Amino acid sequence: MNTSIVFPERLVEGDEVRIIAPSDNLLGIGQETREYACQHFKDIGLHPDYSVHVEGRPGSRTSPIQDRIIDLHDAFADDSVAAVFTATGGLHSNQLLGSIDWNLIKGNPKVFCGFSDATVLLNAVFAKTGLVTYHGPHYSSLGQKLIDPYTLSSLKDALFNRGGYKVMTSDKWSDDVWWNNQNSRELHEGAGNWVIQEGSAEGTIIGGNLTSFLLLQGTQYMPRVDRPILFLEDISRMSGGFFHRNLQAIAYGNQKGIAGLAIGRFSSAATQTEETIGEIVSSIPELAGIPVIANVDFGHTEPRATFPIGGLVTIEATKSGDSTIYIK
């Protein structure tokens, strides 16, 4: 990269968080979900506030580009704001890239967190400014009454603590529609990480949601990192051939090679297994000889680990021992 890497200041209790809607707005997020989200922010010592256009306009899930840009710029320019969180996901964060004032963001580095469609912005901010961003829960993701403590613990490790931390494996996981029934959760037994290919590697993390990340391929907004470690996940419909095709496309884009790969957990609807992922990985020549770990706790299932885009990670993948993913 042509710009130096900058980590934002660690958060401390009492910090203000600004909620913005770079893709879908809050119109589809119910009041109960909002109340629990605010409570969970407060539980970890943060005070959420809302951007001017976060509610959007009646009849549209996505606000006009200019409204979204204003909120993004205001959040970074406001000295009282320590962190910026995306409200929820969607499909249109990439509309903002041509209008962002990168110098404003570079001059006001702060925590920027989200996932899914926000993958576009997280990686573009890192590419254009050197600011490390965070692939973690949306505001709406924290709106679960019965939230897994893993999600909040990982978020605090990433944003508050000054030491490194291990990406742990969860005992239980879920992909239920919790927002339809906040009093009951359908949980699956955790299977731990799957070591697809053994090995060890250290490198800079880029990635996030694979479909969204692929939108940056061939543009100035894709981070230029020599031999990165990719963290990639996708939603349930991106199973089988779609995931295979997209992973091959990303592998082509790193001409100096990939150091390692962590694949987030697929939802139960994707029907991916350790064997099928192994077949996909082994068929992509650019992934030969590198450590690959799958079924990691990030993506579109719960709980969700938080990790830094632009941060340093080590991977130790051993089928016979304790495989680890350690964020430095």
Q: Hey, which bits of 168-317 come out as E strands?
A: 172-173, 188-189, 194-197, 199-209, 229-233, 260-264, 292-296, 307-309, 312-317
| CA separation for the pair 240, 280 (Å, rounded) | 8
The residue annotated as part of the active site, out of 23, 63, 93, 116, is 116
Asked if 115 and 16 count as a contact pair (C-beta separation under 8 A), the reply is no
The residue annotated as part of the active site, out of 300, 302, 316, 323, is 300
Of 238, 217, 244, 228, nearest to 307 by C-alpha is 228
Q: What is the pLDDT of residue 130?
A: 98
328 residues of the chain, pLDDT tens digit each: 667 999 999 999 999 999 999 999 999 899 999 999 999 999 999 999 999 999 998 888 999 999 999 999 999 999 999 999 999 999 999 999 999 999 999 999 999 999 999 999 999 999 999 999 999 999 999 999 999 999 999 999 999 998 899 999 999 999 999 999 999 999 999 989 999 999 999 999 999 999 999 999 999 999 999 999 999 999 855 556 889 999 999 999 876 899 999 999 998 888 789 999 999 999 999 999 999 999 999 999 999 999 999 999 999 999 887 789 999 9
The residue annotated as part of the active site, out of 40, 53, 63, 233, is 233
Residues 6+ apart with CB under 8 A from 214: 246, 249, 250
| 4 carries an active-site annotation | no
| 116 carries an active-site annotation | yes
- Token pair belonging to 208: 């996030």
| 233 carries an active-site annotation | yes
| CA separation for the pair 289, 283 (Å, rounded) | 12
The full set of domains in the chain, from first to last, is 16-163 (3.40.50.10740), 166-327 (3.50.30.60)
